[in-house]
Structures are given as structure tokens and as C-alpha cells.
Amino acid sequence: MSELFDAVDALIASRSALPPAEERKRLRAAHGLTLDDVAGALKVRRATVSAWESVKKPTEPRGPEREAYARLLKQLAEIYPAPVPATRTDAPAPAKAETLSAGAAPEAAVVTATEDKQTSAAAAPDAASRPASATRSTSTSRRPGARKAAPAGTPGGGADPRFENGPLAVLDVDDDGKVLAYCTGGLVLDVPAKSLPSLVDWTLNEAKLGQPRLAGPGKDADPLLVLTEAALERYGLPDTLTQEERIAGRIPEGHKVIKQLARAEWKLTKRGFGPWARIYRPATGSERACVQLCIPSWHALDARHWGEAGRLPPAELARVLGVYASRVMTPRGSTAVTGLELMTALHPPTRASEPDADGKRHSEHNPGSLGKDPVDPAPCEAPDGHPVLKDLPRFHVRGPAEKLFEEAYDWARPMTDEECTLRHLVGIDVNMAFAAGANGLPVGLGEATHVRAPAFDPKLPGSWLVDLSHVDLSRVKAGKEWVDLDGSLLPSPFTPKGEHPEGPAWYATPTVAYAVELGYEVRPLEAWVRHENGRYLDGWYNRLRDAYLATMADLGVTADLAPSDFLAAMNAYKARDPELAIVTTAIKATVKGGLGKLRERPRGEGWRPGEPWRALSRPTWRPDIRAAVISRTRINLHRKIVKHAAFTGQYPVAILSDCVVYAAKGTSPLDFLPYRDGKPLPGGFKLGINPGLVKHEGTQDLLWGEEVRERFNTPELNLARYIKDGTVTDVDNGE
């Protein structure tokens, strides 16, 4: 019977009406498909598909090709429904419907607010994954006051009429040679600009791209244009950079396009015309005139953080970047740069003062921000080569008593005989561990004050010189009770390599506070403390947490899943929507990269030790904040390890940053995590998607671990580095 039904369906499809040629082309372009893509899928020639879309003399597909083509168009029409023009009461209905151009609003294409709401409601269930589109082509008809149809379900768009087309657009050239701007929500705009200067003008004056500020005293996000290789060629730019240009990070100053911009009185930032170029004119009052370019073929989208995003078709790339922009912010560069810029966007350094006697407002410090002027680090917080250390002997190597060294864990130990009887090594990974470490953390906002022999204050951010060698991990406080542990199987919480400290050393406040929490007295010898402090990173954490949880929920992983259901959902979440999976990776990279930028080192520039480098001019160059976050993250992990060991007698065999490896009987985290009636150990590891909870990182046979360590003759090889897929690409001893 099913074969008969299939035959009937095929017969109906072979006679079903197809949309007009213009609509066929619109649907293909809205999804970012080329003629070659469709021809390859239907196993016909490119010219055949082009003839089906020919406006002057379209041909009709026949046989099985028609059935498949009809199915393709039907599915695309469901994803990208055509905008419905409103019925006008002051004029007869036009004989021919027109589409909209950016900056133009023809009378025949006015869309009412009611229709906008209906379209948005219809698209809402699938807004994050496949928003509806409205294609807009060039039209010479303009009528002041007519409104353009807002794209339904556009992330981050529609709330502010200045930016109704979303935060960004991906520019590409279609088969007819037209430049198209693929915006968020499936919207496609015709781009009339013939040169790069005119493209910048069009973007600022007609495209209605950008994003509202994230905080009251802040600035609106500049529009972002992503240029494909075809768009680069159209505007006279190379599709790739030469080796010399890649090293320099820009094209030469004498390039013809840069000369075009200069003649049109546009400027470039000091970084020049590179993968993330910024084109601007000096601001006049509160008005900004700035457009940012992202060029994937120049390696703007690092594959380590953006995966295959740079190779996606224009519509899909617009979707990926649009979701990221709506949930995090419009990218300002790499994920690291964006992570740092997000801090400033949420806490602008200045704000407008109250009116003075003449009714004028002035710029003043914004409380809770880092201000607009950089501050020097304490000598112990400064990395080697910093100007505050210029008086040190040239080849002097600072030890723990001179240098703050708060870094993530990289520790491993040989397995015990009992652990060798188990069959598996199971790795668990802390979700967004460094973001969780930043949550609620007081950090210094101003300059450090030097004090000698201070009383330790766990609420005061700073760096403390203190001897913690007396802390014995064999007997520690867990809550209010003392517990006995096998200290030889635990890493020290005070050093990244897990080694026991041997004397006075510099530590950030969370590390010293943990020694007190474990039940031991501390007596600092001196300290650099910051009396002006606050929870500067809370808003940053909240935005990135919400972005991550919302995107994972779109991928079917929610915060209310039972442990076994959570593990099952995590196993296949990337396959459910590979594009949204790219967004989750980028969000996590934004966390780590943004914190790393707080202590950015020199990047060439002819720098010599003792001289300042470019990053030092930023108020957000704050190695003390980075150290505090890493310290708290490492301590949070150690606290869970101690709780787990005290309750189960199990100890980790390897730790790398936020990944912990245990020997276990089974292959699942549930084979060693102590869940009772679905509830985890209080204060221990808990499976879940929220920051600070853990997920399954990977499982390997115990024999695999022993074989790898034996092969490289390294009993303490860090197996956490390779637990995910078992592939050993390098080893800790450099072989």
C-alpha cells in the first residue's frame, strides 16, 4: 500500500504548479544556494537550473527532476515565506507587486504592523534555527513615511528602527553579478554600491544595520559587513593575503582601495586594512560614522573558535554571526577581542554628569567601571619585561616570592595498584569554568596599595606574599568538620602543577582564602591590595551564561534534564544543528579569550624588554583581574575534588585546566559520581549544562593510558589532554 501512496505522491508532484521564475530564484538566493548547488543536487546541468529561473523565458522541469525541484521549492518556501503586501485603502491594488530596497519604501509594498506581528508569530517556534525572510531588491520608487517590512524572527533586530535589518550583513555576488547583502532572519538586500567608499556610505545611510548599546552610557554597535571572496573581487580587494601581508596583518598602505577611501575622506584605525578592518570618520558630537569589515578568507574567523563558519554559504554565515551578535554582541574582532570589548560595553568608562550651573553636561567617571586611564600593575603582578620591572638585572629570573603565578591546572600522577584494576579512564569537564569563576568575584577597579605584614582579608582583592607550605592536605576542613585524606593523591591547590609550595610565594586573594577555608592560619608578609573594588565581571558573566544556555537549549540541552538524559542529549547536540553548535564554541572562546586579553603580551611591534607595548594603554589591561579569576576557578575545582574524595575515596589521576580524569569501572560519569535518588553530592561534581556543572569529556580504556605513558616513558603524562578522542598529538616532555 505504501508503494501505491508513493506513486500517487510522485504523480501529483509531477503535475503540481511551480512558483514563478522570480520566486524560484528568490528562494534559492535566500538560502544561499548557487545554481551549481541546485544542479548538483538534482543531477542536471547548471544551465538547466538557470533556464528554470529565467524571467524572460522560463522553462519547466519535467519527470523526476520536476518532482525533486518542487519538493525543494516547497521546503524553501516554508522556511522563507514571501512578504505579504498590505491592502491599501487610499489607492487601487497595483497590477504588479514590487519588492523593497534598502532605504526605499515603494507604495506597493507597505506592510502593516498587524501583518508584521502575524508573520513573527508564525515564525516564532523556529526563529533561532530558521527565521523567515523578506527579499528586497532595488527600486526607484520612494515615498517618505512608508515603512519597510521587518524580517520576522530576526535575532537582535526590530526593536530599534535605526537597526531594523539587524546587526550585520554578509555580502556576496549572485550569478547575475548583483551584490546581495544577507542579513539576519533570512533577509536579503540588494546593494547598489559600486566601490568600497560608496558601500560604506550605503551601509551608514540606507542599510539600517547596527545594534543598540548594551548599557546606558555606552555606544551603539557599529554595523558589520562580512565580505565573501566574490564581494572582495567586486570591490577590488584580494581574495587572500600574501605571506607578507598575513605577517603584517594588513594589505599595503598603497593599495588602490585604501587610496579610494582616503580620497573619500574615510580613515582606517592604526591596525590598517586587515581581516577586521574599521573604516570611520572622526565623530561629531554623539554621532558616529564607522563600519567594520570581517573578511573570512583573510582568516578573520579563526577555525579553532568558529569551526567551519568561514566556509558557510552567505545566508548560513549571517545566521551564525547574527545569533552570536544578538546573544553576546556584534563581533569586534576575534572572540578574544570581543570578550574584552563586551566588558567595556557593559561597563563604559565614562558617563554624562548632571547638568552644571549653565545646564551643560560633562563626561565623568562611570562608577563600577575601570575608568578611561590605565593603571600600573603591582611589581609581582607584572609579566616579565614590563616597564615597572625595568630596574631588574637583565637576566634575572623571578621566583615565586617575586612573581604572582596564578594559572590553570596541568597536573597528573601515576596510577595506584587499585586504580590499575579498573577498566576505564573517564574524563569530566566543567562547563564554562572560567566564566563561573568570574561570577560574583570582587576585583580591583583602581590602583594597588602596598602594605607590609597585613591581616588577611578574604573580601579584599589583591596579591599576598604568604607561606602556605604548612597546609597539609592529609587533614583538612570540609565545611565544619575535619576529614582525613590521602594527600599524596591530591594536587596542591596553590600551584598550577600541583606541587607543594616550599616557602613564601605570591597568591591572589581566592587562593589564600582557600587555605583559611581548609582550616589553616595564614600570616601574609606583605600585600598589594585594591581598596576600590567591585563585582565588575558579573554583567559579563550573566550575558555570556545566558547566551550559552539559550543556544544549548535550542540544541535540545536544557538545565532541567535528569543526569542520564543530559548525557544522552550532549552526545548528539552538535549534529542537531551544526551551525548553532558553532555559536556555542564561539561563546566559550569569548570567555577564555576575553580573560586572556586582560594580560595581553607584546605582539612584535619591535618591542624590547622594559619598554611599554600597545596593550598597556588600555584600562582593560589588568593582569590582576585575570589572576583572580584563574585562582578562583582552580580553587572551585579543587574544592569539588576534595568533597568527592572525602565521600567516595576516589582521587583524580589527571587534571588539565577544567578537565578531570578518574579511573572507573564503567564508561560513564555516572559510574563514579555519587548520585543518590537522582541528587548529586552536595558541594561535589554535578552533571548539567549550567556554568560550573560538569559534562562528559571522554572515556578511554585504562590500558590505553598505560600504553601511552609507557610508550613515551612518562609515568606522569597528563592523560586529560588526550582523553576526549584518545589521539596523542604531542606529549608533555616535548617528544
15 pLDDT band, cuts 50/70/90, is low
The per-residue pLDDT for 7 is 59
Whole-angstrom CA distances from 118 to 62, 89, 154, 161 are: 36, 20, 14, 19
The per-residue pLDDT for 280 is 95
**Residue 425's CB: how many other CB atoms inside 10 A?**
28
Alpha-carbon Rg for the chain in angstroms? 30
Maximum separation of any 2 CA atoms in the chain, in Å: 90
Residues 643-665 have a mean pLDDT of 96
**Residue tagged 588600555 (cell numbers):** 618
Of the CA atoms within 13 Å of residue 171, those in its CB half-sphere come to: 32
**Tens digits of residue pLDDT in 95-108:** 333 333 333 333 33
Question: How far apart are alpha carbons 515 and 720 in whole angstroms?
Answer: 26
The per-residue pLDDT for 12 is 56
The per-residue pLDDT for 564 is 94
User: If you average pLDDT over every residue of the chain, what do you get?
Assistant: 86
High-pLDDT (> 70) share of the chain, %? 86
**Residue tagged 535528569 (cell numbers):** 562
**Residue tagged 540544541 (cell numbers):** 555
C-alpha cell at 473: 592536605
208 and 102 Cβ atoms separated by less than 8 Å: yes
The per-residue pLDDT for 4 is 58
- Phi, psi (deg, nearest 5) at residue 478: -120, 100
**Residue tagged 605571506 (cell numbers):** 243
The per-residue pLDDT for 57 is 66
Question: How far apart are alpha carbons 511 and 501 in whole angstroms?
Answer: 12
Helices (H), 16-147: 21-30, 35-42, 46-52, 63-79, 113-123
Question: How far apart are alpha carbons 353 and 494 in whole angstroms?
Answer: 44
Question: How far apart are alpha carbons 290 and 279 in whole angstroms?
Answer: 6
Question: How far apart are alpha carbons 538 and 642 in whole angstroms?
Answer: 27
C-alpha cell at 42: 538534482
**Tens digits of residue pLDDT in 519-570:** 999 999 999 999 999 999 999 999 999 999 999 999 999 999 999 999 999 9
pLDDT over threshold 80, residue 474: yes
The per-residue pLDDT for 694 is 98
Whole-angstrom CA distances from 593 to 189, 341, 342, 577 are: 33, 11, 12, 24
Of the listed ranges 21-30, 141-150, 366-375, 639-648, the one predicted with least confidence: 141-150
Q: Of the CATH numbers 1.10.8, 2.40.390, 1.10.260, 2.40.50, which one belongs to the domain with range 2-79?
A: 1.10.260
DSSP type of residue 46: H
- Strands, DSSP E only, in 469-601? 475-478, 481-484, 504-508, 526-529, 533-534
Of the listed ranges 78-87, 114-123, 163-172, the one predicted with least confidence: 114-123
Contacts of 238 (CB under 8 A, 6+ apart): 232, 245, 251
Q: Which residue has the higher pLDDT, 1 or 658?
A: 658
The segment(s) of the chain belonging to CATH 1.10.260 are 2-79
691: part of which helix (H) or strand (E)? Answer: none
Helix axes 538-554, 335-346, angle to 10 degrees: 120
C-alpha cell at 421: 584494576
- Strands, DSSP E only, in 461-508? 462-467, 475-478, 481-484, 504-508
Of the listed ranges 120-134, 246-260, 350-364, the one predicted with least confidence: 120-134
478 and 464 Cβ atoms separated by less than 8 Å: no
What pTM, to 2 d.p., does this model score? Answer: 0.80
State the Cα angle at 278 between 273 and 280, rounded to 5°: 115
Residues 121-139 have a mean pLDDT of 37
State the pairing for strand pair 224-227/168-173: parallel
The per-residue pLDDT for 27 is 87
Helix axes 335-346, 578-597, angle to 10 degrees: 70
